[in-house]
Amino acid sequence: MGRVAGKVVIVTGAASGLGRADAEHLAAEGAKVVLTDINDTAGEALATELTESGADVIYLNHDVRDEAAWDRVVEATRERYGRLDGLVNNAGVVLIAMPEQTTLEQFRFVNAVMNEGVFLGCKAALPLMRESGGGSIVNMSSVASHLGYPVFFAYSAAKGAVRAMTKSLAVTCQMSGDDIRVNSVHAGAIDTPMIKTANEALGIEPDPNDPVGIGAPSDVAHMIVYLISDESRFVNGAELVIDNALTVQ
């Protein structure tokens, strides 16, 4: 307990799936968590649940595609807690479509959420994080940035951009003398509403005999806690893959 005690962390897409698990684990380890999402019903319910368990959290409606919304979230964090120690850029969407079936509008939407949203989050968070003496940014990428998934063409493109952006920002912060670490997390199949929706759309039934299997949200959340904590002080610009050896087969 207390691995991130006192740290203030923004988690986007916190109402469900990996974001929810991240928020729950960070709060359990003592962090003050700013939960953001566009699903107000689920987000507010989670904030109430965590508050009743003794955690210090707030929920904010937040469209990560909107630069002004990012400014409001960071300012609300400053007003409530006076600092920012961590950012988990987790919000995401998935589009199931082959490259030639993907419209320009669909491609732009997916990348607006997971590519531009990560850029805007990092840009907005850096000044307050710098004022706070440093911190840790975790960008959720995916093994889709390593492997070829034709039906997840736009998703893979966005996650690939996150992978590259993370490295660039890590070096930028280091060269600037900021004590800000930036890492990316690349998960394989995890038991979340998003993967269930994708499997249903593709008509895929999980194979119980598959040695790789499907991970639990907590498998990723434990890594998030580690990356936000001071335990990972020398981990910077890294790709943390959580896929039970999927990408090395």
Q: Which residues are catalytic?
A: 155
Distance between CA atoms of residues 192 and 126, nearest Å: 30
Whether the CB-CB separation of 77 and 70 falls below 8 Å is answered with no
Distance CA 117, CA 136 (A): 17
Q: Which helix (H) or strand (E) holds 117?
A: helix 117-131
Which DSSP symbol is given to 17? H
Token couple for 235? 């981990």
Q: Which long-range contacts (CB under 8 A, 24 or more apart) does 95-98 make?
A: 95/152, 95/154, 95/155, 96/151, 96/152, 96/198, 96/201, 96/202, 97/151, 97/153, 97/154, 98/150, 98/151, 98/153
Residues 6+ away with beta carbon under 8 Å from 67:
120, 124
